[in-house]
Amino acid sequence: MRIKFFTEGGKGIGFGHITRCLSLCQAFEELSKDCIFVVKGGEEVKEVINVPLKFIDWIENLNSFEKELEDSQVVIIDSYLAKEEHYQIACAKVDKCLFVDDFNRLEYPCGYVLNGSVYAGELNYQIKDGVSYLLGTKYTPLRRAFWHVEKKDTDIQIGKILITFGGDDSKSMTLKVVKHLEDVFPHIEKFVVIGSGFKNRSEILSLRSSKVRVYQKLSEKDMRDLMVSCDVAVSAGGQTTYELARVGLPSVLVAVAENQLLNCLSWEKVGFALYAGWWEDDKLLDKIVKYIRNLEDANIRLKMSKVGRLLVDGQGARRVAYKMLKT
């Protein structure tokens, strides 16, 4: 059986959709199914996708989209850009469809609708014949390395801070945050992750020192191990937050896109993270520092870690694949 993914990613878009689709693909591959990706995006996507890949602007070209459906038994669409016509055509042409949604964007015509976010239950999805909803962190798709994660120890003091703003850091937050934390916490190690879409990579690399370590092209296992080794994270508020929760790494979150606001606020509400604010806020850096100081209390970090691991068990992608293929 062939599973075809339609999504978008790269510079200016980010890699959250790509990573989520890869997580689902790995679960289908475990069940001996083949995956193919059809992506609207740039060549930098090749650095993170290790399955057959086509670059097609399937969003603007409905004819190309329809042609790609011809040899597919299962179609998965993960997109903020796809129009209602895409979903209608997919439902008419393919037996099994899965549509990934983050904020009740459309009224989907058929199949499974997946929203693995921590706030999914609050979105009031409309009950509809022929549509099944997979909602909440029980169904959060994570990459294979995060399916099984050993319990993380909580150290008495904060010795290592992870700084991660996704694969492209479209708002160039990494450089600002690292510089500020170096000034305020010179004794603490900063583990900085940069991706293929970064525009200011050379400037960030120039900050390397005994206390600032910069990581590029990390495998999913390396990323997991880096998270496990740290005491606190400063992160954008997208898909990475679910990997941080799975590991149990208490986090200070920054919303760098409108679609991250609800996610950040929801993680704070349930007690896993602290929301420092919108990326353009004047006092953002000071608030990040304030929250890191709050997290110097190991008991607070331990409670947050437990909340994250309780909510995200890493098995979401497997549950989705099993549900789709058993029917």
Q: Are residues 172 and 120 in the same domain?
A: no
pLDDT per residue over 289-317, tens digit each? 999 999 999 999 999 999 999 999 999 99
What CATH number is attached to the domain comprising 318? 3.40.50.11190
147, part of any domain: no
Q: Is position 187 annotated as part of the catalytic site?
A: no
Q: Are residues 216 and 138 in the same domain?
A: no
Q: Cα(44)–Cα(215) distance, rounded to whole angstroms?
A: 17
Catalytic, out of 17, 86, 148, 187: 17
Q: Are residues 79 and 61 in the same domain?
A: yes
pLDDT per residue over 59-113, tens digit each? 999 999 999 999 889 999 999 999 999 999 999 999 999 999 999 999 999 999 9
Domain count, the chain: 2
151, part of any domain: no
Q: Are residues 55 and 128 in the same domain?
A: yes
Q: Where are the alpha helices (DSSP H) in 206-294?
A: 220-229, 240-247, 261-270, 284-294
pLDDT per residue over 142-176, tens digit each? 999 999 999 999 999 999 999 999 888 989 999 99
Please give the backbone phi and psi of residue 4, each rounded to the nearest 5 degrees, phi first.
-110, 130
pLDDT per residue over 115-131, tens digit each? 999 999 999 999 999 99
Do the annotations mark residue 60 as ligand-binding?
Answer: no
Please give the backbone phi and psi of residue 282, each rounded to the nearest 5 degrees, phi first.
-60, -40
Q: Is the dihedral of CA 121, 30, 11, 196 positive or negative?
A: positive
Do the annotations mark residue 243 as ligand-binding?
Answer: yes
pLDDT tops 80 at residue 12: no
Amino acid at position 194, single letter: I
Residue 167: predicted pLDDT: 83
Do the annotations mark residue 246 as ligand-binding?
Answer: no
Do the annotations mark residue 15 as ligand-binding?
Answer: yes
Q: Are residues 89 and 6 in the same domain?
A: yes
Residue 14: predicted pLDDT: 81
pLDDT per residue over 175-232, tens digit each? 999 999 999 999 999 999 998 778 899 999 999 999 999 999 899 999 999 999 999 9
Cβ neighbours of residue 244 closer than 8 Å, sequence gap 6 or more: 227, 233, 235, 251, 273, 308
Angle between the N-to-C axes of helices 261-270 and 240-247, in degrees from 0 to 180, rounded to the nearest 10 = 20
Structure tokens that stand for 263 in this block:
């996610």
Domain that holds residue 204: 160-311
